[in-house]
Amino acid sequence: MYVRSGATLNRMAAGGLLVGATFGLAGTFVSSPQLQASLWAIDSVGLVVGSSLLAVKYLRTGSELLATGFLVFAIGEGVLLSGTAAGPTSSVPPFAAGIALWAAALIIISAPPYFPAWLRLLGGVAAALFAVTAARIYAGEMLLPTATPLPFFAYPFLVGTLLGWVWTLLREKA
């Protein structure tokens, strides 16, 4: 089915982002590695779909920078998905690559003044925390996706950013 309505695309993208935020956060708090992998797989698929739809949306409106940011975010999420089934320890290399791409995407998306300042700041904080985490892993530190303080305390900033994007999408006039 061809989606002509911007409102329909916004709702579909918002749905993907909501699935990602919900299942991603839930996966962070469960102790079973199998359940965690399943929740994070659903999270990743939702975020890839939602951010891909947003890349198309912003490309169609001529906002190439936003489109690029959402495309990089989708790629980063796809990289994360590739390591999810490997288990916590084996997923560290794709985790580092994925969050490095998240950080770049969040910076690209937060740079132009499209979204409200509070949302751009939230995205910038998430980007900084994930960039530090990725840098530490690339420097040789073994950080699992649930390690504290980082990356554990970066996730609320990411989820807040995702929810802010959803809020913005649902408030747009058709």
* Domain residue spans of the chain: 6-171
CA distance 52 to 166: 14
Cα distances (angstroms) measured from residue 35 to each of 41, 76, 102, 159 = 10, 22, 23, 20
Omega before 112 within 30 of 0, i.e. cis: no
Question: Is the torsion defined by CA of 167, 72, 74, 104 positive or negative?
Answer: negative
pLDDT, tens only, 133-155: 999 999 999 999 999 999 999 99
Neighbours of 38 (CB within 10 A): 16
- Counts of helices then strands in the chain (DSSP H, E): 6, 0
> Does position 94 have pLDDT exceeding 80, yes or no?
yes
What's this model's pTM, rounded to 2 decimal places?
0.94
